[in-house]
Structure formats: structure tokens, C-alpha cells
Amino acid sequence: MFGSAASSSGIQGYNRRAQRVVALPVRLDVGTSAEVRHEIHRALDEHEGDVVLDLSAVEVVDAAGLGVLVGLRRRAYEDGREVVLRETPPRVVRLLNATRLSRLFVLD
């Protein structure tokens, strides 16, 4: 799944400067959360450094999507790694701030 091909829900992974970048789909919600979780956990398994999530395409995030992010952060933290949120849209930043989850992530 990683490389230049995107999954059916628009998740794409690629390497960039010794970082694993996972580009998330337009919707990070109950309908995509299982596949997104699978792909980002796979990125953790296959790469030793921090995981960067490219949120530039994300327009919708629900509680299931937030749960995926929190679960990823917990697992990365246990391994001594960071989760970097890149190109996070203002709407998503406001949601992370309102839920006080922004303190768990590196916002780039």
C-alpha cells in the first residue's frame, strides 16, 4: 500500500527525508477509521523513526477519527517516538485545541 498508490479511501504512504509520511484521506471518521488505523500502525511497524501524518486533505474528523489519532500517539509514545501532524487544516486544529488533544502531538 505504501509508495505512490493510494488505498481505496485515499490513504497514501511515502518516505520523505528519513521520515514515514502517511497522507490521510478527506474523511477521518467511522467509515475510514479501520483502514487508517491499519495503515498508520503499519507505518509504525515498518519504520523506526517518527511518523508524520499529512492532514492537508482532511476535511472531516469525528470521534472515531480522534480515537485513531490518540491510539497512534499512545503506541508511538510507548516506543519513544513522536506523531507529527503536518499541514493540519485550521478546522482540525480548532478541534484538537477544543478537545485538548493538541498537546499530544507535534503540529508542523
What does each C-alpha distance from 11 to 23, 49, 77, 83 come to in angstroms? 6, 19, 23, 17
pLDDT greater than 80 at residue 31: yes
Domains and CATH numbers, the chain: 12-107 (3.30.750.24)
Q: Is the pTM of this model over 0.85?
A: no
What is the model's pLDDT at position 48? 86
Q: What is the mean pLDDT of residues 7-16?
A: 58
pLDDT greater than 50 at residue 4: no
Phi, psi of 17 (to 5 degrees): 50, 60
